[in-house]
Chain A
């Protein structure tokens, strides 16, 4: 192959590459804005356990990755006549944020759970509440910075379902 042919071939390749890049670059791009993720968290009381506030206590329609955690607080009161061991589960409407949302559950200085929303389905470290006594739960939710693109536009409505059992047999 002569030098001239080689140069022509290289020119063709360069031209084609240029044309291709122009094609790709000239495409009308999609809107670049990303929708935020959104979540509503509510708590469901039980016969044994009064929960305050009732209904939704966290409403975060604009969760942004890397932003400070969205927080909520609950008061749980044992309204039975015996000590209770309290655990909780989550019931998720869509499950869309199960792997993306980081959850931290604390009671006082004690950490009861740290992990993903989906992981919360396995429960928290149980807490004991005496008859007529209350405990406060503090719950924090946040999206990791790396998850914004994946989480964009996803929403969920999560209910905290409390489960109780007696710490001792009822008298």
Chain B
């Protein structure tokens, strides 16, 4: 093979390699678009109190017109905005002994509560949310549908419960100063706070 032919072939090879290199260097341009990280999670509704399974009160042999004050802190930890209503699922007849037991429920705050103490309780300025008889409460407010609605803070300040909202409720019970109330006793009854998302 002549020298000139060899040189020509070498140039062809070098040119081909250069073309390949050029193709490799400049063929990287591209573009994509993506929609990443999709996810879905349902919200939660969760409410709890600080009773640890204990009772608010178990009063025996009470004198008339003596108040028993007990406090319970209710905390909302769900992620969804909710309504919270208070009611009792216990049947307490209006004409029974429960008509002689006075009941007052007052929302407020305690800086460092310890169930069921009311030490340090400060009532909301809007006052009681219930003031009547135990029988009247249980008869009127016996389900979520009929429950007593309350929101954190003074009445009207909030229209929903949000995560970590909490309210301390002072429950005050006493027996009426009436001879008809002597021996009045109402067996185990409950107070229920139920949350439902808005």
Contacts and interface: CB of A to CB of B under 8 A. Distances in A.
B52 A170 contact: yes
A80 B75 contact: no
A50 B50 CA distance: 9
Given A23-B20, A26-B21, A80-B114, A46 B75 contact: yes
B156 interface: no
B contact residues, range: 20 to 34
B53 interface: yes
Given A19-B20, A23-B24, A79 B114 contact: yes
Contact of A27 (B13, B24, B48, B49): B24
Contact of B50 (A19, A44, A55, A80): A80
A48 B20 contact: no
A100 interface: no
B164 A54 contact: yes
Interface string A6-18: 0000000001001
Interface in A26-56: 26-28, 44-48, 50, 54-55
B52 A84 contact: yes
**Most chain A Cβ neighbours within 10 Å, of B13, B26, B52, B55:** B52
Interface string B150-191: 000000000000011010000000000000000000000000
A139 B117 CA distance: 32
Interface in A118-171: 131-132, 164, 166, 170-171
Nearest to B73: A79
Nearest to A24: B24
Interface in A90-126: 93-94
A131 B114 contact: yes
Given A15-B13, A81-B116, A48 B21 contact: no
A131 B114 CA distance: 7
A27 B25 contact: yes
Given A27-B24, A79-B112, A131-B114, A45 B52 contact: no
Interface string B98-127: 000000000000001111110000000000
A82 interface: yes
Contacts of A164: 52
B77 A80 contact: no
A79 B24 contact: no
Given A26-B25, A44-B164, 19 more contacts: A22-B25, A23-B23, A23-B25, A28-B25, A45-B75, A45-B164, A45-B166, A46-B48, A47-B74, A55-B164, A80-B52, A81-B51, A81-B114, A81-B116, A84-B52, A93-B41, A94-B39, A166-B53, A170-B54
6 contacts: A27-B28, A46-B75, A80-B54, A81-B115, A131-B115, A166-B52
Interface of B: 13, 17, 20-21, 23-26, 28-29, 39, 41, 47-55, 73-75, 77, 112-117, 163-164, 166
Interface of A: 15, 18-19, 22-24, 26-28, 44-48, 50, 54-55, 77-82, 84, 93-94, 131-132, 164, 166, 170-171
